[in-house]
Chains A and B, each alone.
Chain A
Amino acid sequence: DAKTTQPTSMDCAEGRAANLPCNHSTISGNEYVYWYRQIHSQGPQYIIHGLKNNETNEMASLIITEDRKSSTLILPHATLRDTAVYYCIVRARISNFGNEKLTFGTGTRLTIIP
């Protein structure tokens, strides 16, 4: 799986949009970009994923650059409950079992400031 690079930490004011960047310059054509978050040692929670088009769901938006070497997760109106560690990983879809050795990096610790 492609490696990802994320900032160690970020702050965002409550009510503002939180933009979390991720670099994945070695991403392969069949690899998706997935975002998860982990709130205070709970199990990681799925947020969103995409291949090359921008995606939006009830939690967030995902913007993937045209060359697919980087992406940005957007939380449109951050709340205090969005304080968490956010992980960006890239991998092939699970149906391509192959050699699925997934590794979560250290992620970005997002702190929402009141």
Chain B
Amino acid sequence: NAGVTQTPKFQVLKTGQSMTLQCAQDMNHEYMSWYRQDPGMGLRLIHYSVGAGITDQGEVPNGYNVSRSTTEDFPLRLLSAAPSQTSVYFCASYGETQYFGPGTRLLVL
């Protein structure tokens, strides 16, 4: 039981590039979500999903897309990276409590 895993751990992008942050969980949780955390700030919700095929926007969804084709995976896509998206990204899944992944540190130049 690996819990919530995220890849990559660290990524550098140039402005305008695209990439996908991967998130997977092996706890059969229906509910998953993506957060971003900027330096010295709390976590802000980007997108969430209440089950396969169902996604919805959180507090800061602009510039990000998500999909949920399986219960296990919930990837986050940046279609055209901007410096304002430099942040640490956390994926979480929910059972009785929330379990967070280790995070992906993204730097957009």
Instruction: List the interface of chain A (C-beta within 8 A of B).
Output: 34, 36, 41-46, 49, 87, 94, 97, 100-107
Interchain CB contact under 8 A, B45 and A102 = yes
Q: Binding site of A, secondary structure by majority: helix, strand, loop or mixed?
A: loop
A35 to chain B, nearest CB (A): 10
B60 to chain A, nearest CB (A): 10
Q: Binding site of B, secondary structure by majority: helix, strand, loop or mixed?
A: strand
A54 to chain B, nearest CB (A): 18
Interchain CB contact under 8 A, B98 and A36 = yes
A51 to chain B, nearest CB (A): 13
Interface residues of B in 56-75 (CB under 8 A from A): 58-59
Interchain CB contact under 8 A, B45 and A46 = no
A108 to chain B, nearest CB (A): 11
Size of B's binding interface in residues, CB under 8 A:
27
Known: A42-B102, A100-B50, A103-B44. 19 other contacts (CB 8 A): A36-B98, A43-B102, A44-B90, A44-B98, A46-B97, A46-B98, A94-B31, A97-B31, A101-B58, A101-B59, A102-B33, A102-B45, A103-B43, A104-B35, A104-B44, A105-B42, A106-B40, A106-B41, A107-B42
Residue among A43, A49, A94 with max Cβ neighbours from chain B (10 Å): A43
| A85, closest chain B residue (CB) | B42
A36 to B88, CA, bound (A): 17
Q: With a CB–CB cut-off of 8 A, which chain A residues contact B31?
A: 94, 97, 100
Interchain CB contact under 8 A, A103 and B42 = yes
A84 to B40, CA, bound (A): 13
